[in-house]
Amino acid sequence: MSETKEQVPSVIKAEELDPKFKYEMSKIHGAEKIMLCFQCGTCTADCPISRFSDFYRPRKIARLVQLGLKDRLLSNDALWLCTSCFTCVDHCPQGVEIAGIVRALRNMLTKDKGIMPLVYKELATNLLKSGYVYAIPDSRHKKRIEDGLPPLPKPNLADISKIFELTGSAKILENAKTFEKVKS
Amino acid sequence: MANPKYLIFLGCVVPYRLSSYEISARKVLDKLGVELVEMPEFNCCGLPMDPINHELMLTLAARNLCLAERENLNILTLCNGCFSSLNETNKMLKEDKKLREKINGYLKEMGMEFKGTIEVKHLIYVLAEDVGFEKIKNAVKKPLTKLQVAQHSGCHVLRPAKYVGRDDPENPTTLKELIRLTGAECLDYMDETQCCGNPIIGVNEEVPFQMAKEKLAHIRAVKAQAMITICPFCHIMFDLNQSRIEKTFNEKFGIPVLHYTQLLGLAMGFQPKELGFDELRVKPTEVLSNI
């Protein structure tokens, strides 16, 4: 798989680098081991997404974090292409949890930049309304009875909404700008 | 030994779209003596919220774990995704005191506290570890000896090994052995452990379609009569989306996708209509004529 198709500027300017970013990242749950990445490329070589995408390269994400190119990372749509299959996590010889790093960057994007793919906003909205991330239609509830399945329990919407409030997610959701699709 | 008893965690996708999985799972588990208790007031496992906010995922998952602790019962999941978030959260909160204190701070507001007294298992591990291969073998009344199938375990039931720690993620055998108990042959094929691609379908269709197409082609190459899944997301990717994948790439696959519990149910002597076979999109005509 070639990395040549990527449209990236060939020169990195020193003033773009944030030397503290890697320390900030290494305090986030799941991203603790970012500094141990020695760029072997196992993650990219074994990543099923990288095989089919011109942009998604986990090794490069790890390097950009180490270099502190935060803006470049957070403006990169490819972050949303990880399926969290965890192949990279299991294969990394340094124990770097790449999928955890990707998650930390996504969380940063939703919280600090207020951006997320539309689909996640819809799933969250359904969850707050019904306890499920999909809007289960009445016909499904009725069919359960016809099929001899027990009725679904009543959700505790007060608890769910409290969890959104307490974790700061309600605010993230309220302010979120959305986009629909990302290129691969 | 007393019969195993579990709280069944349905999650969102199964009740939304795949009652065929739930119907067949309840049938075979009941016959195998696994007692299922309905989980009161559960919410989404949290996994789909992980990209928005990791703490949101952890707290949603932990609330479900607290409900199970209250009932003093272990959780059985049908979905790989639910297994992943509930099992990982359970293990992380048991091991990481600081994280537990943080999440317990949130749970306190709901009158809850995570104590770490229960376990979370995916259906296949309940079958393999609690019911046991011997008992399943004895329950097979109509061995499916004319069938050759291929398995797709999916990702989250195997990886990350650090939190799952049951089967070998490089060369998983649990589902294969469970398939062989039904009398069917389980064929090997290329890249069996590759992801179905479904989790990103909401933001990009091209990559998941290519991943799924490749898998279907590998399964077709070994001439499997059906594909066997244990995760509703994977099932949707290969069954519901198969006709669209065929159209996109102008290729015909026609590979029926069965939930493992449907395959086992057939071998245990249930009728296809009792196992939700009529809900499958790719019609398993050849499979059913070979039982």
Contacts of B96 (CB under 8 A, 6+ apart): none
A82–chain B Cβ distance below 8 A for any pair: yes
pLDDT block averages, 10 residues each, chain B of length 291: 92 97 98 97 98 98 98 98 98 97 98 98 98 98 98 98 95 98 98 97 97 98 98 98 98 98 98 97 96 89
CA-derived radius of gyration, chain A = 20
pLDDT score for A5: 56
Mutate which of A74, A132, A165 to disrupt the B interface (most B C-beta within 10 Å)? Answer: A132
pLDDT score for B86: 98
Q: Which has more confidence, A112 or A13?
A: A112
What residues of chain B lie within 8 A of the CB of A144, using their CB? 15, 19
Contact B208 A83 (CB under 8 A): yes
Q: In terms of domains, do B154 and B284 share one?
A: yes
Assembly ipTM: 0.95
d(CA A12, CA A66): 13
What residues of chain B lie within 8 A of the CB of A112, using their CB? none
- B131 belongs to a structural domain: no
User: Residue A10 above 90 pLDDT?
Assistant: no
Q: In terms of domains, do B85 and B161 share one?
A: no
A11–chain B Cβ distance below 8 A for any pair: no
pLDDT score for B273: 96
Q: In terms of domains, do B265 and B187 share one?
A: yes
Contact A181 B203 (CB under 8 A): yes
CA distances from A87 to A79, A172, B4, B122 (A): 16, 30, 32, 19
- B259 belongs to a structural domain: yes
- B282 belongs to a structural domain: yes
- Residue B222: what residue type? V
Contacts of B16 (CB under 8 A, 6+ apart): A132, A134, A136, A140
What residues of chain A lie within 8 A of the CB of B198, using their CB? 83
Contact A116 B106 (CB under 8 A): no
User: Residue A37 above 90 pLDDT?
Assistant: yes
Q: In terms of domains, do B196 and B281 share one?
A: yes
Q: Which two tokens stand for residue A68?
A: 């502190």
Geometric angle at alpha carbon A159, from A153 and A161, rounded to 5°: 110
Single out the residue of A112, A103, A114, A43 nearest to residue A79, CA to CA: A103
Does residue A117 contact residue B202 with C-beta atoms inside 8 Å? yes
- Shortest CA gap B189–chain A (Å): 16
Single out the residue of B71, B66, B70, B105 nearest to residue B86, CA to CA: B66
Q: In what order do the strands lie in the sheet with B185-187?
A: B185-187, B148-152, B226-229, B257-259
Q: What is the set of domains in chain A, with CATH numbers?
A: 15-113 (1.10.1060.10), 117-179 (no CATH)
d(CA B143, CA B164): 31
- Residue the block writes with tokens 């590979």: B255
pLDDT score for A1: 46
pLDDT score for A13: 86
d(CA B230, CA B177): 14
Running DSSP on this structure, what letter comes out for residue A1?
A: -
How many domains does chain B contain in total? 2
A87, A143, A153 member nearest B38 (Cβ): A153
Contact B60 A163 (CB under 8 A): yes
Q: In terms of domains, do B106 and B162 share one?
A: no
B203, B211, B276 member nearest A52 (Cβ): B211
Q: In terms of domains, do B68 and B200 share one?
A: no
- B132 belongs to a structural domain: no
pLDDT score for A11: 82
What residues of chain B lie within 8 A of the CB of A131, using their CB? 42-44
A 10 A CB-CB count for A72 gives 14
Q: What is the CATH number of the domain that holds B257?
A: 3.40.50.11810
pLDDT tens digit string along A71-86?
A: 999 999 999 999 999 9
Contact B52 A160 (CB under 8 A): no
Q: In terms of domains, do B72 and B158 share one?
A: no
Mutate which of B83, B152, B204, B214 to disrupt the A interface (most A C-beta within 10 Å)? Answer: B204
Pairing of strands B226-229, B257-259: parallel
Q: In terms of domains, do B91 and B211 share one?
A: no
d(CA B112, CA B90): 15
Does residue B251 contact residue B212 with C-beta atoms inside 8 Å? no
pLDDT score for B18: 96
